[in-house]
Amino acid sequence: MPPTIGNHAPELPQDRIDSLFYEIADRNPDVAAAGQEVIKAFGSADEAEPGRTAIADAAIQDANRFGEEVPSAPNPPEILTPRELAALLGALVLSLREAAKNPNPNLEK
């Protein structure tokens, strides 16, 4: 099988894993659901590759610990669909590129 993104998960730094977890947990007052989302995002401990197992384990432990502290979110933010998220990220990268090409348009007038 040729290398594709399907068999290569991005390697995330630990602080980013933590922040992604809390982003997910913030949107889910139900801790069990948060844990499930984390497992869905990072893969289950049983099926995951060695590196990913550690991520899933850490996330589950965080879910248990974090569970006692999560207040119910009255208005959870809208969750983007995968397609919407991909479109948004592409647009954001393009906007960075455009801004770099025109550092300050007023200076060129």
Partner 1 sequence: MPSILSKAISLLTGDDTKANYDWLKMPKKRVLKQLTDRELIRLEAEIGATLFGPLPRGHRREFFCLDATTWIWHEEWVDSSRKLQVATTRYEVQENGILKVQEGARYSYVEGQELQNLLLAMRMYYERVAREIYHTEPKPIA
Residues in the site for partner 1, rule: CB under 8 A? 2-6, 8-12, 16, 40-41, 43, 77-80, 82-83, 85-94, 96-97, 99-104, 107-108
Nearer of residues 13 and 68 to partner 1, judged by Cβ = 13
C-beta of 36: minimal distance to partner 1 in Å? 14
Nearer of residues 72 and 107 to partner 1, judged by Cβ = 107
Task: Count CA within 13 A, CB hemisphere, residue 27.
Answer: 13
What is the full DSSP assignment across 6-29?
Answer: GG-PPP--HHHHHHHHHHHHHT-S
Q: Report whether 20 contacts 41 (CB < 8 A).
A: yes
